[in-house]
Amino acid sequence: MKRVFSGIQPTGNIHLGNYLGAVKNWVEKQAEKENFFCIVDLHSLTVPQNPEQLRFETRSLAAMLIAAGIDPDKSTLFIQSHVPAHAEGCWLLNCVTPLGWLQRMTQYKDKSAKQESVLTGLLDYPVLMAGDILLYDADEVPVGEDQKQHVELARDIAQRFNHVYEEEFFVIPQPIIPQAGARVMGLDEPTNKMSKSLAEKRGHAVRLLDEPKEILRSFKRAVTDSGREIQFSTDPDKAGVNNLLGIYKAVTGKSEAEVIADFSEARGYGDLKVGVAQVVIDMLNPIRERYQMLMQDPAELDRLLARGAQQAAAVAAPKVDQMKHTMGLVLPA
């Protein structure tokens, strides 16, 4: 059975892009794989966080993932900081990773350009992520398009470690990018990806907890163009319509021809927007309801997360010990 590892940050505002690009695929393949899904709280510290808020968002994300279909009996769901091997693995991998590799990461370049003072953690973020993946000898890493470069870096780091220290020490992981939904664009700005950091902005994102009325409103406001032809397209001027069709395709699992056929009677973009909103609302209604139930029992959530951390540590702790030994450190007697 292939081993899967993926992570998601507890930074709030989980949106349709996170769901279609990552979480939905985790859920759908869950039964066929051995899964580790990690709430990467250490990653979220790479930009300033409010401590109380971060604690809330961490539990909230756990509830959301379970509500979305992650079954804690089939998958190991845990919080990154509960397994100290992640921070240790990051340090050890820092010592085989050239600085230049990190400075080239596009996400680092984008995010650091927007900040006056850049924290070291932001630059080091992909090494922590590489450790997450490599400590589990994961074969597959299902992520959205924006994380592909980071998974490729994890491959490079693994290869370098294997070369320097011990051939075949780490499994070389494979990024798994979905066919549809890999890059959901902002509804207000369809040439940029839908983003958590902009999700508070009206009309930018559909958040998984949005009420149906709000979802419909967001889609109705979605930026399109002055035409009326409903077609998939790579033309940047048609990015809005293409994004709406892409969302519909990812939600329904239909082919492009079937999607277009569903809108053959549409009288314009207005009908398209309502049609897309409807399938998204139907998909999110049960998730929102389950989330609200799960949040009423925080003790049960904590119990599930503690069990997940134990299962994860059983894999990651011995691996980090092997890393230490291989690198020449003395293990405690």
Instruction: Report the residue number whose CB is nearest to ligand LTN.
Output: 7
Instruction: Compute the least distance from the CB of residue 161 to ligand ATP, in Å.
Output: 24
Has 111 been annotated as catalytic?
yes
Instruction: Compute the least distance from the CB of residue 273 to ligand LTN, in Å.
Output: 28
- Quick check: 83 binds ligand LTN (CB under 6 A)? no
Q: Which of 74, 111, 220, 324 is catalytic?
A: 111
Tell me which residue of 213, 235, 232, 237 sits closest to 272, measured CA to CA.
232
Q: Which of 33, 193, 273, 319 is catalytic?
A: 193
Are 21 and 176 a contacting pair, CB within 8 Å?
A: no
- Considering only residues 114 through 143, tell me which ones interact with ligand ATP, judged by CB under 6 A: 143
Considering CB distances under 5 to 8 angstroms, the limit depending on partner class, which of ligand LTN, ligand ATP, none binds residue 194?
Answer: ligand ATP
167 Cβ contact list (under 8 Å, min separation 6): none
Considering CB distances under 5 to 8 angstroms, the limit depending on partner class, which of ligand ATP, ligand LTN, none binds residue 85?
Answer: none
Task: Give the per-residue contact string, 147-176, with ligand LTN (x = CB under 6 A; - = no).
Answer: x--x--------------------------
Instruction: Compute the least distance from the CB of residue 72 to ligand ATP, in Å.
Output: 19
Task: Give the per-residue contact string, 140-169, with ligand ATP (x = CB under 6 A; - = no).
Answer: ---xx-xx----------------------
- Quick check: 5 binds ligand LTN (CB under 6 A)? yes
Has 220 been annotated as catalytic?
no
Judged by CB under 6 A, the residue of 7, 181, 190, 308 near ligand LTN is: 7
Judged by CB under 6 A, the residue of 182, 245, 272, 312 near ligand ATP is: 182
Considering CB distances under 5 to 8 angstroms, the limit depending on partner class, which of ligand ATP, ligand LTN, none binds residue 249?
Answer: none
Number of residues that bind ligand LTN (CB under 6 A): 14
- Quick check: 83 binds ligand ATP (CB under 6 A)? no
Has 109 been annotated as catalytic?
no
Buried b or exposed e, range 103-142, using 16+ CB within 10 angstroms: eebeebeebeeeeeeeeeebbbbbbbbbbbbbbbbbbbbb
Cα torsion 225, 231, 236, 242: sign: positive
Q: Which of 74, 196, 254, 324 is catalytic?
A: 196
Are 208 and 14 a contacting pair, CB within 8 Å?
A: yes
Are 279 and 251 a contacting pair, CB within 8 Å?
A: yes
Judged by CB under 6 A, the residue of 9, 35, 60, 243 near ligand LTN is: 9
Residues that bind ligand ATP (CB under 6 A): 8-9, 17-18, 21-22, 143-144, 146-147, 182-184, 193-197
**Which residues form the interface with ligand LTN (CB under 6 A)?**
5-9, 40, 43, 129, 132-133, 141, 143, 147, 150
Active site residues: 111, 193, 196
